[in-house]
Copies of this chain bind each other. A is one copy, B any other.
Amino acid sequence: MRKSLLLVMAGLCLASVCTAQEPLVIQEQGSFLVGGSTLTDNGEFVFSDLWSQSGQTAYGDHAYVWYQVPVNAKKLPLVFLHGGGQSKRTWETTPDGREGFQNIFLRRGFTAYLVDQPRRGEAGFTLASGDAMTPMYYDRTMFTLFRLGRWPEYYEDSQFPRDKASLEQFYRQGTPNTGPLDFSVVADSIAALLEKTGPAILVTHSQGGGAGWMTVSRTENIKAIVAYEPGGSPRLFPEGEVPEAISTSFGLIEGTAIPLEEFRKFTKFPIVIFYGDHIATEPTDNYGSDQWRGELALGRKFAELVNKYGGDCTVIHLPELGIKGNTHFMFSDLNNIEIADLLSKWLAEKGLDK
């Protein structure tokens, strides 16, 4: 038994002892809170008045981080930032129970830092007052917006599993904002995390993309950005070069101007931006498809400008590679190993997987 175990752990696989999945060998794992701030009530503290906020301090606006370091880890860790209404769960097990990017890239030797951004998930303490919590009635909107299909029909080639249990896991994996959404607060916390991790590769999804771009001016430790469908969050362009806003059935998709000197920071490291399938090429009332028509156009423009100023930004629109049916959550889609392979290939090309 001991011998079989050793062989499995060493990555040697004998037919007689191999299980479906080899064990993960983790050198270190744990969690911490990072960044954030405090507020102190200026009343007088009275010991016996235990439920009064008078004179007490509130802690909040930090990020929660779960990390795992595999044995013989590669030099640059991956820092994963989720999208809107999501938590680090995004990167964990897929809705149908397969391994997500967390495990996949641990197996490929990368240290993984998974973030719950400030005012979300296990980083719920806010220093700004927010809305009351209510049930979130939006399953049909999510189905369409995240491009599983056009509700109630899946796209015929959709890479989302068809069983009801997977769809339910998907609907349940979100978690609400516990305070106002503030991209600066998120970017501050990611910058604080990167001061702790040292040089790292930032991997963002959707709304997290904007916070990711905003982190660039706050730290020197970003060595690459991998953005999966950045959108619904700040789209940064040099002053005077903000492209025309695009009207979609989802709403207006528009850029934000920043000084050219700040924009030039995007040229200091390689960037790759991935987009999935079923993105409209003409205006349509399918707002899921139409939003990403606008986002993709602005993403291409962003890449063009980064490259114009000497940077290295690649846009990968999966259908152009013949990879069809991917949703907004391509890293947990049925073909997520193929999606991971594309990232591995890019990381290797850029020398980021040493």
Interface residues in chain A, defined as those with a beta carbon under 8 Å from any beta carbon in chain B = 1-2, 5-6, 8-10, 19, 21, 23-33, 36, 39-41, 45, 47-48, 50-51, 53, 55-60, 62, 64, 66, 71-72, 87-89, 92-93, 97, 99-100, 103, 116, 120-141, 144-145, 151, 168-169, 171-176, 178-179, 249-250, 285, 287
Do residues B53 and A133 form an inter-chain contact, with CB atoms below 8 A?
A: no
Partner of A169, one of B32, B124, B172: B32
7 A-B residue pairs with Cβ-Cβ distance under 8 Å, sorted by A, are A9-B25, A40-B137, A53-B138, A59-B168, A124-B124, A124-B176, A126-B133
Do residues B121 and A47 form an inter-chain contact, with CB atoms below 8 A?
A: no
Do residues A56 and B10 form an inter-chain contact, with CB atoms below 8 A?
A: no
A72 contacts which chain B residues (CB < 8 A)? 1, 5
Q: How many copies does the complex hold?
A: 2
8 new A-B pairs (CB below 8 Å) besides A29-B103, A31-B93, A40-B137? A5-B71, A6-B9, A8-B71, A24-B26, A53-B138, A87-B124, A130-B132, A130-B133
A92 contacts which chain B residues (CB < 8 A)? 30-31, 66
What is the CB-to-nearest-CB distance from A44 to chain B, in angstroms, rounded to a whole number? 12
Do residues A125 and B172 form an inter-chain contact, with CB atoms below 8 A?
A: yes
Given known A-B contacts A10-B6, A174-B125, A28 and B33 have beta carbons under 8 A apart: no
Do residues A140 and B56 form an inter-chain contact, with CB atoms below 8 A?
A: yes
Q: Which residue of B lies closest to A66 (CB)?
A: B92
